[in-house]
Amino acid sequence: MNKDYLKNITKEDRALMLEKAKAKREEKKKAGEGLRQNYADENYHRMIASELGIRMPASYLPNTEVKYLKRAAKHLNIDIKDYLEACGVKTLKQLVAMNPDMNMVCELGLYLEYIKEKK
């Protein structure tokens, strides 16, 4: 977004944009309530992410948000197809369908755990 545009918005427009963003976040959180939130390895996964320089997504995001897996693979310069093969699937869509109640934090954490074991 152009920074000049941000200088020209009114206080009312800014307040409206902030309100819309807050509503969108709340909507995502509400949608994420059906996901399993407690994983025993979550702290370990977050530690691995920190070591590898990967930012973990919000815990209310479903595992269908595969962009986080793709970003991590790109950041680490590793082909994600090896991980998919190890999981016994050919696509990310098949992978996330295996655990529909999993959040993206756990899905990404499992991927990072796999990467750490391979190194």
What are residue 17's phi and psi, to 5 degrees? -65, -40
**What mean pLDDT do residues 105-115 have?**
93
Give the model confidence (pLDDT) of 85-107 as tens digits: 999 999 999 999 998 888 899 99
User: Is pTM beyond 0.75 here?
Assistant: no
Q: Which of 38, 52, 35, 37 is CA-nearest to residue 112?
A: 52
What are residue 76's phi and psi, to 5 degrees? -85, -5
Measured at the alpha carbon of residue 104, what is the angle toward residues 29 and 34, in degrees to the nearest 5? 45
Give the model confidence (pLDDT) of 60-87 as tens digits: 888 889 999 999 999 999 999 999 999 9
Q: Please tell me the predicted confidence (pLDDT) of residue 66.
A: 94
> Where exactly are the structural domains of the chain?
3-33, 36-118
**What mean pLDDT do residues 7-15 have?**
84
Confidence of residue 39 (pLDDT cuts 50, 70, 90): confident
